[in-house]
Amino acid sequence: MKDKPMIGYARVSTDDQDLTNQRAELHAAGCTRIFAEKITGAHAKRPELARMLDHLRAGDVVTVTRLDRLARSTRDLLDIAEQLQAMGAGLRSLAEPWADTTTAAGRMVLTVFSGIAEFERFGRRPTLAPAQVEHARELLADGRTAVETAELLGVHRATLYRALRGQETSQVEARRRGAFAEDALTEADALAAADQEDRQA
């Protein structure tokens, strides 16, 4: 992390609250610049947050003491994380080390959250984005079982099978990538099982 510029963001909800502790934690973590404001998270417009986003450059890492200092909701957090990713910047929370998009594990966690948030938002059967499907293939190729992979992505195993089928993966290609090798199922067998589960649901 030392080789990446760390930009801090601090926020408190009212004028009665103090930013001193957040500033101290961010300075101690190595932040070279800190954007801070006193405004409730319910406000759509947060001037200092907007200034920070304008200031960011590729390779910067936005650092906060807690995620609720940055975002109002899971959806808001994911929207901000997507903006940062588009800029080539990272996100790190001191209190939630799992939310560190400079690491593969942190990126995976936010990918899972994204899938869950979409399901909650639209109230429908969750689907997997192309990037999630590719990540699923990597997990399967690394020896993860289909059940483990589905759990990591926050979806049912049948959803994983449908996503793989949606990309028209051939049985030969699936075996080459290691898909379904964990339970000795062919792709056709796995998809048939998923269809049966759907009918029973």
Do 22 and 83 belong together in one domain?
yes
CATH code of the domain containing 133: 1.10.10
Catalytic annotation, pick one of 13, 73, 114, 170: 13
Residue 173 has pLDDT above 60, yes or no: no
In a domain, 156, yes or no: yes
Q: Which domain holds residue 29?
A: 6-103
In a domain, 171, yes or no: yes
- Domain closes at, from 42, 69, 103: 103
Residue 53 has pLDDT above 90, yes or no: yes
Q: How many domains does the chain have?
A: 2
DSSP 8-class letter at 94: S
13 in active site: yes
Do 92 and 136 belong together in one domain?
no
- Report the distance separating Cα 164 and Cα 146, nearest Å: 11
What are 92's strand-pairing partners? 63, 100
In a domain, 117, yes or no: no
In a domain, 1, yes or no: no
- Residue-wise pLDDT for 86-137, tens only, equals 899 999 999 988 889 999 888 888 877 776 666 555 555 557 778 788 888 8
- Domain closes at, from 73, 103, 133: 103
Tokens 């190729």 label which residue? 141
